Structure 1
Amino acid sequence: MTDVTEIDRAHAAMVADEADDVARLRFYERLAESELFMLLEGEAEGDQISPAMFEAEGQEFVLIFDREERMVDFYGKAIAPYAALSGRGMAQMLTGQRIGMALNMGVAPSAMLVPAEAVDWLAQTLGNDPEEVDGQITELTAPKGLPEVLLEALDRKLATAAGLAVEAYLCGVTYEGGGRGHMLAFVGTVEGAEGALTAAVNEALVFSGIDAGMLDVAHLEGGDPVSERVAKVGLRFDLPSPQMPSQPGANPGMDPNKPPKLH
């Protein structure tokens, strides 16, 4: 029997109180960020895959697992044909096709049917682009009054952003004209990573249950007066050091630049 996984824990918290929207959002956050294994009918043909599916409650479901050994336990043989990709990628692949996800069926406490409507919601939520705004900053201050659940969500999300920036600071901000809010300023953002980091902050807002739009994002080079000011007054988040990239496997979905296609 495999160890209890993060998805198991998030699922247990969700079913313990069906009225807890934050726990439900936390489960979908874990599902989106986890590597998942999709059982196939046979070996992939190039970038074409044929998922093993079954029908329940009037819908079709693909079979997904959060551990390879759980998939093998379900399959009943030592080697199972599969595609591995993130829950985020899987939701985006399935969206609009009226196909749900059957998670860890019969092999884990987190076994559940994620209906097609939830898959579409997840893909849409993850695909929402943050809005760009222009404004002249007149004052930077220490952050005040932000809910703990948001700070925890930011901490979890930024822990997955290894190597995309040196550090980040959360601070209060006042704009020309009197508008006030909060800003997360990334310092030393790697070229080309701005969109990924901004999207990560947007996801932290969504999955914390906080209305999007209450947190602005800035990318600073470092060494300028604004960077020095946010470092003095802001709440610091350290981003992990980058790990050496591993060679993508041969299974479809392991290379994010070559997502699998259903057929």
Structure 2
Amino acid sequence: MPRFHCFEPDLCPDALEVALGEEESHHLMRVLRAKEGDSVGVLNGSGLVLEGSLFFPDHRRAFVRVTDAREFDRPNLSLHLAVGMPKGKAVDTIVRQATELGITGLSFLNAERSEVSAKTLYSKEKLEKWKRVAREACKQSENPFLPEVEIAGNLSEWLAGWNKPGRHWVAHPTRSNVTETLPGLASRQDSLWMLIGPEGGLTDKELEKARNVGFDPVSLGSTVLRVETACVGITSLARQYSAILS
């Protein structure tokens, strides 16, 4: 098992050597204090992992001498989280933990009860930060697939243009328990979309719009959950159940 993991999007499965980028090289050599000969796995985020040993020809750039290449198949069920934009650092937590659990895509939306500014909602810097969090989570968890992370705009407009295939859930504390809905994944399509509201939940109007375009209300139990907890709970249940079926 590799001691360290790196992320490089442009990998060739037949490569004998990989030159790591400046950021990854600095992190390995200066922060982690990696040494020549240490084992490393290099992920491209699309299912390819190259493993090998480190060497530093000029002490400024890290290289990997490749000894093995592995290509992973994507899970049978692709999981997508759509979340009413929460405040504070909750987005970082959701991105990190959902990536560790193997989420396929993350969409953050401006819901009626979202307490964030337009500057945050449409900030390229914030989006790049969250994508970086996803890359780091892939490395930490050895997840070979990098999720797509996007800021998808206004929730009502997003629902108005809804045309995604698959199964669709919307979190609702007074509806059927999600464990009662899981068996339906066995006979449904290969994609599951899960809609979670911000702090305070979705409004009745938003819930009605979601139901009108095919979202089934589901509950994670009788207690009130933080947004981050709800995202982790629903993703974990769906992923584990789909793994049992496959």
Query: What's the TM-score, normalizing by structure 2?
Result: 0.27
Query: What's the TM-score, normalizing by structure 1?
Result: 0.26
